[in-house]
């Protein structure tokens, strides 16, 4: 289809993938409700002066009480543009943490579970009636490239295993209304998240009890070195924007799209028996 201001809500648009997706979709004719947590980030989006880009603040996915106001704004804007229903939601928001499970900060992990699993469900519960009204309505999930047990970044990957289950179960539950759930599985994308994770890890090194961090020091140092190399190949986030745009424009979107550095390799590795995959991950 050729976009004609169909409404798309994207979460986590302050930076990285969310911001790139929101801008690309707005440039390609969608009305984008770009949600952020901080007013300064909404202002930065507004400065782009794209009438298709509608910043919405605040939407913190750990704060479901903020959702009704977001819904009201979206409904009012869609009515103003004469659009029937919300065409799509892109679940993108998420934080990052690098740590062995034994030393993971439980408060941060809790926030991650809220952001990646509880918040998106609360959002969908509020918005599905509106998506049902839009011809061709759909849900997009920005995810890691494959279901792999990647050590030391479990706060993200464990959530993605669960989000993958949510998306695939929703695909079945929403079949009567033909609302597809599309996974956009991203490899290494060049966003501020990678640098931030490393800074957080540096800080954590100084906070964790020495006798316990010493148990993991060699493995983590190896991980940091390999991440440094991986970072050199990261893909521009606009490529994710292009893939999301393709998935939104397709009459029948695929259930999965792969994009970004090493994404295809990870998806290929996922096809092997779990025991092989686990052995491969242990050798990294």
Ligand X SMILES: NC(=O)c1ccc[n+]([C@@H]2O[C@H](COP(=O)([O-])OP(=O)(O)OC[C@H]3O[C@@H](n4cnc5c(N)ncnc54)[C@H](OP(=O)(O)O)[C@@H]3O)[C@@H](O)[C@H]2O)c1
Binders of ligand X: how many residues, by CB under 6 A? Answer: 28
Which one of residues 8, 10, 17, 89 is an interface residue with ligand X (CB under 6 A)? 17
Q: Which of residues 136-175 bind ligand X (CB under 6 A)?
A: 142, 144, 156
Q: Is 192 one of the binding residues for ligand X (CB under 6 A)? A: yes
Residue nearest to ligand X (CB): 16
State whether residue 137 is helix, strand or coil: coil
Q: Is 69 strand, coil or helix?
A: helix
State how far the Cα of 160 lies from the Cα of 163, in Å rounded to an integer: 5
Q: 131: which residues sit within 8 A by CB, 6+ positions away? A: 85, 86, 87, 88, 89, 137, 138, 139, 179
Query: Does the protein bind ligand X through residue 18 (CB under 6 A)?
Result: yes
Judged by CB under 6 A, the residue of 7, 8, 9, 14 near ligand X is: 14
Q: Is 93 among the residues that bind ligand X (CB under 6 A)?
A: yes
Q: How far apart are CA 53 and CA 31, in angstroms?
A: 6
Cβ distance to ligand X smaller for residue 68 or 192: 192
Using an 8 Å Cβ cutoff, are 195 and 154 in contact? Answer: no
Cβ 84 to ligand X shortest distance, Å: 27
Q: Is residue 115 at the binding interface for ligand X, with CB under 6 A as the rule? A: yes
d(CA 205, CA 199): 10
Q: What are the CA-CA distances from residue 87 to residues 136, 166, 227 (Å)?
A: 7, 19, 37
191: contact with ligand X by CB under 6 A: yes
**Residues in 214-273 that interact with ligand X by CB under 6 A:** none
Q: Which long-range contacts (CB under 8 A, 24 or more apart) does 161-165 make?
A: 162/116, 162/117, 163/91, 163/116, 163/117, 163/120
Examine residue 62 and tell whether it contacts ligand X (CB under 6 A): yes
197 binds ligand X (CB under 6 A): no
Q: Does residue 224 contact residue 204 with C-beta atoms inside 8 Å? A: no
Q: Name the one range near ligand X by CB under 6 A: 45-53, 131-139, 189-197, 276-284.
A: 189-197
Q: Which residue, 159 or 174, has its beta carbon nearer to ligand X?
A: 159
Q: Given candidates 34, 42, 53, 61, which one binds ligand X under the rule CB under 6 A?
A: 61
The C-alpha atoms of residue 267 and residue 280 are separated, in whole angstroms, by: 14
Q: Which is nearer to ligand X, 52 or 155 (CB)?
A: 155
Q: Of 6, 60, 223, 239, which lies in the binding site for ligand X, with binding defined by CB under 6 A?
A: 60
Of the candidate spans 26-34, 53-61, 125-133, 217-225, the one that interacts with ligand X by CB under 6 A turns out to be 53-61
Orientation angle between helical segments 119-133 and 67-80, nearest 10 degrees: 20
Interaxial angle between packed helices 238-249 and 16-27, expressed in degrees from 0 to 180 and rounded to the nearest 10: 50
CB of 238 to ligand X, least distance (A): 12
120 binds ligand X (CB under 6 A): no
Q: Which range touches ligand X (CB under 6 A), out of 13-21, 82-90, 218-226, 275-283?
A: 13-21
Q: Which residues bind ligand X (CB under 6 A)?
A: 11-18, 37-38, 59-62, 92-95, 115, 142, 144, 156, 186, 188-189, 191-193
């Amino acid at each position: 289809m050729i976009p004609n201001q169909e409404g798309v809500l994207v979460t986590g648009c302050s930076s990285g993938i969310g911001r790139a997706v929101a801008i690309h979709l707005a440039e390609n004719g969608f009305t984008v409700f770009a949600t952020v947590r901080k007013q300064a980030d909404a202002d930065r989006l507004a400065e782009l002066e794209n009438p298709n880009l509608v910043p919405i603040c605040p939407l913190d996915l750990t704060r479901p009480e903020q959702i009704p106001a977001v819904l009201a704004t979206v409904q009012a804007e869609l009515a103003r543009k004469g659009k029937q229903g919300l065409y799509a939601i892109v679940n993108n928001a998420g934080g990052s943490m690098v740590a062995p499970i034994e030393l993971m900060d439980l408060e941060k992990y809790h926030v991650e579970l809220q952001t990646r699993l509880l918040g998106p469900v609360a959002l969908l519960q509020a918005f599905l009636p509106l998506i049902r009204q839009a011809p061709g309505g759909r849900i997009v999930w920005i995810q890691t490239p494959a279901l792999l047990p990647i050590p030391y970044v479990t706060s993200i990957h464990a959530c993605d295993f669960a989000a993958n289950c949510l998306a695939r179960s929703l695909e079945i539950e929403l079949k009567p209304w033909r609302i597809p759930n599309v996974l956009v599985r991203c490899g290494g994308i060049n966003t501020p998240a990678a640098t931030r994770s490393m800074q957080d890890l540096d800080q954590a090194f100084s906070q964790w009890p020495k006798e316990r961090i010493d148990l993991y020091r060699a493995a983590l140092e190896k991980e940091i070195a390999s991440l440094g190399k991986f970072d050199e190949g990261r893909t521009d986030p606009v490529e994710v924007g292009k893939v999301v745009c393709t998935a939104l424009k397709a009459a029948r979107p695929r259930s999965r799209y792969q994009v970004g550095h090493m994404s295809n390799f990870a998806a290929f590795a996922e096809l092997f028996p779990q025991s092989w995959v686990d052995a491969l991950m242990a050798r990294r």
